[in-house]
Amino acid sequence: MRQGLLSGTRPPPPTATNTDACPCHGPRYALVRRDTSSLGLTWHSPDACGQVKHCKMGWGSGGWGAQSGYVGIVNGTVAKEHSRPYMVSVQKNKGHICGGFLVSESFVMTAAHCITWGVNLTVMVGGHDITNQKSGTRIPVKYYHINPGHNVKPLLNDIALLQLAEGAKQSNSVKWISIPKKDKDIKGAEVCSVAGWGATKTNGPVNNLLLQADVVIVKRKECKQYWNDFFSEGMLCARGKAGFCQGDSGGPLVCKNKAVGVVSFNEKNNCNKPKKPNVYTKISAYLPWIKSILKSVKH
């Protein structure tokens, strides 16, 4: 039974009918709150959430021309310790797999593709050196809220909320970050930032210390020209001398001290000098869904 389900039997994963190479790692389901009084959750079938495929290829590779998955900061600098207290390391068996960020005391926002069926995750809050067990605090994930429109090929609606088993306690090293209050585009050429513990080169190892870098927002029309059908209304792009790579998926794109995007995918096997801008999930496009989940928990 998946961690956090209060009762009932977990339905079996769907039978794989398509094993084409795609950026995923096994079947996944969307979780939606059904009964807030009893915290009941419903596993939605693949048909309700978009096509779900069981893929041969692991995270960080994509046969369809993009690279997602445990996608670190290239040409970045080490962040000042606790200068980004909202940053979270999403972990499996105490090992970093994705980034994330606190949006309230009970919820971490991340990329939907960071969640794998049957894999229980924890988050490290308040950490800087993720190899130092005393650097931060680990909190188990209680519920996994994947956007019901999430699709892996092409990668769409790549956003999820991790509901923590216990609330994160605010301190100098732990704080949550604001998100947009309404849906609007970010102006092209605006300078923003991205951070994470991911690789500094294609297929490189994750970093012990949190890295950060400035990036520049790319106009939607230009991004569409680069990515064609892989780019949708729920996305935004940024580029610069720095960018993300394997291990940064789920981390925030921050503009004017507000999280506006979630690291999603980039050019396949080319973190170092990508010809195409990096792609993020546009948070403001999902505000009704986000608010419905955040409001369902009384703090």
Q: List, by residue number, the catalytic residues.
A: 113, 158, 249
What is the 3 state secondary structure string of the chain? CCCCCCCCCCCCCCCCCCCCCCCCCCCCCCEEEEECCCCEEEECCHHHHCCCCCCCCCCCCCCCCEECCCCCCECCEECCCCCCCCEEEEEECCEEEEEEEECCCCEEEECHHHCCCCCCCEEEECCCECCCCCCCEEEEEEEEEECCCCEECCEECCCEEEEECCCCCCCCCCCCCECCCCCCCCCCCCEEEEEECCCCCCCCCCCCECEEEEEEEECHHHHHHHHHHHCCCCEEEEECCCECCCCCCCCEEEECCEEEEEEEEEECCCCCCCCCCEEEEEHHHHHHHHHHHHCCCCC
